[in-house]
Structure 1
Amino acid sequence: MPVRKDESGRRTVAAEVEVPGTPEDVWRAIATGPGVTSWFVPTRVEERVGGTVATNFGPGMESLATITAWEPPRRFTADSPEAMGPGSPTIATEWTVEARAGGTCIVRVVHAWFAETDDWDAQFEGHEHGWQAFFHILRLYLSHFRGRSGANLQLMGVAPEPTVQAGWAELTGRLGLAGAEPGQRVQSASDAPALAGQVERVGPDEHPELLLRLDAPVPGIAHLFALPMGGQVYLPVRLYLFREEPTAAAAREEPAWQAWMARHFPMPGQPG
């Protein structure tokens, strides 16, 4: 997602994906709280100009934006002050949905900001891999769980080794998912939380990730990846659970995952 610049100082980065569904289907997935929560992170959306979009990336990491344009089911925009940290520029984000022949749509997101220096460009360019990963989840959600609201579990651990590849090997090895290949059916190890389903995607070595379409413990999606940051390797595990009572399913599964992550991949300051 290279940064584009113009003479006014306006800078933009953009990403897009083709997904199945009508514009109305896709709009529900990208512009409503339950829809976004079902493939991204827990989100609340006040569906109007002046409304708030609140996205929760974890404890103490809630991002707030104000909706500046609302044109369902085609387009909305929102402004986020200091979204990249104190002193960072306000980001204007535009989401658009464009219908295509054959029952698909193009979803496009554009981030724009004004700056006189390149100080923030690298962080925005880093959005590319993040959006690519989440767009794979969005496509999977719209292909198999369209219109359903899911429970969203976000878990985090820190690898005992400081390299991405070693941390990833430790996580997938303990889960019994090492060496998984696209199209393969997998099942977690007996001493790990229950996880079973089909492998939909395996990331490259430099950006390791695993995307599963689950049939156990309940139908859903699992997304695991390794993230180097601050000299450590973080190991996020995201579960999107869909069934008649997704909240109850999440309440049942979360304690086992929390205990397992704390035992094998404790966060700094957390007892192992």
Structure 2
Amino acid sequence: MRKDASGRRSVEAEVEVPGSPEEVWRAIATGPGISSWFVPSELEEREGGTTVSHFGPGNSMDSVATITAWEPPRRFSAEAPEDMGPGSPKVATEWIVEARSGGTCVVRVVHSWFASTDDWDNQFEGHMHGWAAFFRILRLYLAHFRGQPCAAFQLMGAGSEPKAATWGALIGPLGLAGAAEGQRVSAAAGAPPFAGVVERAGSSEHPELLLRLEEPAPGIAHLFALPMAGQIFLPIRLYLYGDRAPAAAARAEPAWQAWMAERFPVRAPG
């Protein structure tokens, strides 16, 4: 995190991805593009427009911002009041696309805010770890599924400490225990059907799996464990691509929801 004398603080993350500036811009600066690797989103493609990202069910988990600069296919920025919760500072987010040789671009996201205390620093630094994971999905999407229609869904389960035990209780019955990068995997008996290749296997400290799917349709699956509020949350996101993606998602989502609800019900805080 950077600080300057004016009280401005900022954090940033970047990734090199395949594609022309125009192709990358469509992925990061349109509603369908963002929804193909991030969370369900809408974006009005103009200065003064609104961008909304849906991080969960209901409006309470929406992130809403106003676009303050719009310079396709190079840069846009947006401002969100209290994006980290009540009383949090206004956050300005800038997206930058820089062309590189060899048909690639660098995508950079910068969050900045003004504050007189360090109260929000850890949360913003935590944001960068989240961007690193989503940028891996972005790179995979642009490498294999660029421009294809997407049907995506999100799941959430929760278990108790310790993290390793809850993570093991998720990936074992799925048939993913011990999965290594480059390994072909498929669903265990009784699990929702899937098959593909492991693109990333996280460490025991930061459990994560990123799969490039062949079934239930060509796509991406991302699973990880997140300690929060005394529980271990288990977010799962599936992004399916191509003409058969909507039908495949319509079949797969109920199966995944039922499987997760039976094993990892999310309890209310308190």
| TM superposition score category, shorter chain reference | over 0.9
Secondary structure of the corresponding residue to residue 167 of structure 1: helix
- Whether 2:265 is the aligned partner of 1:266: answer yes
Deviations 1:191-217 (A, max 9, x none): 000111000001111111000000001
Deviations 1:23-58 (A, max 9, x none): 001000000000000000000011001111100000
Equivalent of residue 6 in structure 1, options 1, 4, 7: 4
CA RMSD of aligned residues (A): 0.9
Secondary structure of the corresponding residue to residue 198 of structure 2: strand
Partner of 1:98: 98
Deviations 1:65-109 (A, max 9, x none): 100000000000000100000000000000000000000000000
TM-score (ref. length: structure 2): 0.97
- CA distance in 1 between counterparts of 2:31 and 2:179 reads 32
Partner of 1:163: 162
1:227-246 correspondence runs (5 A): 227-246=226-245
Partner of 1:62: 62
Q: Which amino acid aligns with 1:31?
A: A
Q: Deviation of residue 179 (structure 1)?
A: 0.3
Partner of 1:172: 171
Partner of 1:72: 72
- CA distance in 2 between counterparts of 1:149 and 1:83 reads 29
1:125-140 correspondence runs (5 A): 125-140=125-140
- CA distance in 2 between counterparts of 1:260 and 1:106 reads 38
- CA distance in 1 between counterparts of 2:156 and 2:235 reads 4
Q: Deviation of residue 242 (structure 1)?
A: 0.7
Secondary structure of the corresponding residue to residue 203 of structure 2: coil
- CA distance in 2 between counterparts of 1:110 and 1:87 reads 21
Q: Deviation of residue 133 (structure 1)?
A: 0.5
Q: Deviation of residue 128 (structure 1)?
A: 2.0
Partner of 1:121: 121
1:146-157 correspondence runs (5 A): 146-157=146-157
Partner of 1:255: 254
Partner of 2:219: 220
- CA distance in 1 between counterparts of 2:129 and 2:7 reads 25
- CA distance in 1 between counterparts of 2:34 and 2:128 reads 18
Secondary structure of the corresponding residue to residue 183 of structure 1: coil
Secondary structure of the corresponding residue to residue 143 of structure 1: helix
Partner of 2:203: 204
Secondary structure of the corresponding residue to residue 177 of structure 2: coil
Q: Deviation of residue 165 (structure 1)?
A: 1.3
